Amino acid sequence: MNIDKIIHTRYATKAYDSSRKLTAEQEQQIFDLLRFSPSSVNSQPWHFFALSSDEARQRIIPAMTEPNISKIMNSAMVIVFSTYKEITETHLNAVLAQEKIDGRFATEQNEKNQDEGRRFFVGLNNSSLDEQRAWMARQAYLSLGFLLLGAAGMGLDATPIEGFYRDKMDSALFLQDQNLTSVVIAAIGYHGSNDFNARLPKSRLNQNSVLTHL
């Protein structure tokens, strides 16, 4: 991965080439990008829905705003990022158990410290259900950023999408029954010849406007 080239050339794709699909290896790499995304205190308060079939895409079309429908239908894969409506004991225990399986604790005290530390930080963002959901949504956006950069490193194009109706999306994917709610979407694939954004120069505010080096 040439990180310098990627950060200067990647962009939000506006039109996709529907004839170009992902290989099984590329799909698995995307799944790995999502699963290994960073999150605060390794909380992982999310579930990702990867839509690649036409049937799956059609399910969420009623939840999309008009400008984004073509991206959903023509990209190679669509990822719907969802988070829990409320973080549960079951989830916290599952994360801790997996960390133990993966060998992260040399002693029982290390395990206890990790559990207590995570619960402390979850508690800091738990004065209300809305605050907890906002904190979990921020974790989903960390994952989104990880995916966007990773996809570019794979030579793929991607588009972050907030233009959808959450209630309709939750209904389309039956998220209410899973203690989940949709947060953001990403389309992934290859840009089409009609993607005007591919031909435009990248534009950002100058470094002194957005960065202070102390």
Q: Report the pLDDT value the prediction gives residue 5, as an integer from 0 to 100.
A: 92
Q: Report the pLDDT value the prediction gives residue 36, as an integer from 0 to 100.
A: 98
Chain centroid, CA 160 distance in Å? 9
85 is catalytic: no
Closest Cα partner for 73 from 88, 61, 65? Answer: 61
Q: Catalytic pick from 71, 99, 100, 131?
A: 71
With beta carbons less than 8 A apart as the criterion, state whether 197 and 11 touch.
yes
Three-state secondary structure string covering 17-54: CCCCCCCHHHHHHHHHHHHCCCCHHHCCCEEEEEECCH
Q: Catalytic pick from 112, 131, 162, 202?
A: 162
Q: Report the pLDDT value the prediction gives residue 16, as an integer from 0 to 100.
A: 98
Model pLDDT for residues 1-14, shown as the tens digit of each residue = 689 999 999 999 99
Q: Residue 128 and residue 152: Cα distance in Å, rounded?
A: 37
**Percentage of the chain with pLDDT > 90?**
98
55 is catalytic: no
Q: Catalytic pick from 5, 14, 55, 111?
A: 14
With beta carbons less than 8 A apart as the criterion, state whether 111 and 105 touch.
yes
With beta carbons less than 8 A apart as the criterion, state whether 95 and 43 touch.
yes
Written as one string, the DSSP assignment of 109-174 is: HHHHHHHHHHHHHHHHT-SSHHHHHHHHHHHHHHHHHHHHHHHHHTT-EEEEE--B-HHHHHHHTT
Q: Report the pLDDT value the prediction gives residue 8, as an integer from 0 to 100.
A: 93
Model pLDDT for residues 155-195, shown as the tens digit of each residue = 999 999 999 999 999 999 999 999 999 999 999 999 999 99
Within 8 A by CB and 6+ apart from 20, the residues are: 76, 189, 190
With beta carbons less than 8 A apart as the criterion, state whether 52 and 77 touch.
yes
Q: Report the pLDDT value the prediction gives residue 19, as an integer from 0 to 100.
A: 97
Query: What's the alpha-carbon Rg for the chain, to the nearest Å?
Result: 19
Q: Report the pLDDT value the prediction gives residue 6, as an integer from 0 to 100.
A: 94
14 is catalytic: yes
Model pLDDT for residues 85-143, shown as the tens digit of each residue = 999 999 999 999 999 999 999 999 999 999 999 999 999 999 999 999 999 999 999 99
Q: Report the pLDDT value the prediction gives residue 163, as an integer from 0 to 100.
A: 97
Q: Report the pLDDT value the prediction gives residue 98, as an integer from 0 to 100.
A: 98
Q: Residue 60 and residue 55: Cα distance in Å, rounded?
A: 9
